[in-house]
Structure 1
Amino acid sequence: MTASSTETLFSTPRYASEASRQPASRRIVVAQQANLAARLLDHPTPTLLLCLGETLPGSVEQESLPSSEALYLRLQMLLEQAQAGTRLYVCGDESFLWHIHSLARQAGLLGDEIELFKRGTRRRLYCVHCGHFQDIGNEGECTCGQCRVRLFVREHFSQRLGAYMGVCLDPDTPLAPEVRP
Structure 2
Amino acid sequence: MSDRLKTEKQKMLAGELYLANDPELRAENKRACRLLRLYNQTTETEQHRRFQTLQALFGAIGEKPQIVPPFHCDYGSNITVGDRFYMNYGGVILDCNTVHIGNDVLCAPYVQIYTAYHPTDPTVRLTGRELAAPIRIGNNVWIGGGVIICPGVTIGDNTTIGAGSVVVKDIPANVVAVGNPCRVLRAVEAPAVDQDSDASI
Higher relative contact order (CA 8 A, sep 6+): 1
TM-score (norm 1): 0.27
Q: Higher Cα Rg: structure 1 or 2? A: 1
TM-score (norm 2): 0.26
Q: Which has the higher strand share?
A: 1
